[in-house]
């Protein structure tokens, strides 16, 4: 049985999560060659505290048993984190969005991405074995999203084991992902555009 003690305080005006927000330090994430579970990374995960700049990855699974059987997503995660760490991850808006809303509000600068030192991703941030703690973590998703510095849809064009296409369109059509996107849209802390990561060059 896995037991957790949680003593951290919620931010002013923030809803108290039912389960702590566990994040993986970027340095540890960069060493991974595949996505690993919450239980496998238990000794490396840390509980989020105010001031810990975190990127929240939203994605769809590509397998029935694990989310990334071929390693496609983990490869893209490492690419994003490497560029963030190097100060070369400067994200500009899609041109049509820039026309509608302006470039400045939608741009995610290198100054912002360089601050990111922690990573939230469901497979390692949410318990996978204990169903009661898993449910508590899932119910806390709105708080996790609100606490994050950046929100990224991790959507490399790929095929699920069942034959379904799981690209950006597939991500946007799933209820779970819509809920996370909605939580990001209504987050009260600052302006946080949706980052869409489709490949190492896009």
For the residues of 78-135, what is the DSSP string, one character each? HHHHHHHHHT---B---HHHHHHH-HHHH-B-HHHHHH--EEEEHHHHS-SS-HHHHH
Q: Beta partners for 172?
A: none
26-53 in b/e burial notation, b at 16+ Cβ within 10 A? bebbeebeebbebeebeebbeebeeebb
Other C-beta atoms closer than 10 Å to the C-beta of 17 total 21
- Rounded CA separation 196/141 (Å): 19
Mean pLDDT of 126-153: 95
Q: Is residue 42 a contact partner of residue 159, using CB atoms and an 8 Å limit?
A: no
**Is residue 53 very low, low, confident or very high in pLDDT (cuts 50, 70, 90)?**
very high
Q: What is the pLDDT of residue 8?
A: 38
Q: What is the pTM of this model?
A: 0.87
Mean pLDDT of 167-187: 87
Answer whether residue 5 shows pLDDT above 80: no
Mean pLDDT of 160-167: 88
150 vs 102, more confident? 150
Q: What is the pLDDT of residue 7?
A: 34
Q: For residue 77, give the 3-state DSSP assignment.
A: helix
Q: What is the pLDDT of residue 35?
A: 96
Spatial CA neighbour of 22 closest among 96, 109, 133: 133
According to DSSP, residue 184 is labeled: H
Q: What is the pLDDT of residue 98?
A: 67
**Is residue 12 very low, low, confident or very high in pLDDT (cuts 50, 70, 90)?**
very low
29 vs 8, more confident? 29
Mean pLDDT taken over the chain? 87
Mean pLDDT of 54-69: 94
User: What Rg value do the Cα atoms of the chain yield, rounded?
Assistant: 16
1 vs 143, more confident? 143
Which tokens in the block code for residue 125?
């941030």
- Rounded CA separation 147/21 (Å): 9
Q: What is the pLDDT of residue 11?
A: 46
């Amino acid at each position: 049985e896995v037991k957790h003690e949680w003593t951290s305080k919620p931010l002013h005006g923030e809803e108290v999560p039912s389960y702590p927000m566990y994040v993986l330090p970027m340095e540890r994430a960069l060493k991974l060659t595949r996505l690993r579970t919450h239980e496998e990374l238990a000794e490396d995960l840390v509980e989020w505290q105010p001031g810990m700049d975190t990127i929240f990855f939203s994605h769809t699974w590509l397998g029935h048993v694990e989310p990334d059987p071929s390693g496609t997503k983990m490869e893209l995660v490492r690419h994003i984190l490497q560029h963030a760490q190097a100060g070369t991850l400067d994200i500009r808006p899609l041109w049509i969005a820039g026309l509608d809303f302006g470039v400045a509000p939608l741009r995610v600068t290198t100054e912002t991405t360089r601050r990111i030192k922690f990573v939230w991703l469901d497979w390692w941030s949410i318990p996978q074995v204990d169903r009661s703690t898993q449910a508590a973590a899932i119910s806390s998703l709105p708080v996790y999203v609100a606490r994050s510095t950046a929100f990224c849809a991790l959507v490399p064009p790929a095929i699920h084991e069942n034959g379904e296409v799981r690209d950006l369109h597939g991500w946007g059509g799933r209820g779970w992902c819509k809920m996370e996107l909605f939580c990001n849209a209504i987050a009260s802390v600052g302006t946080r555009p949706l980052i869409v990561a489709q490949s190492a060059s896009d």
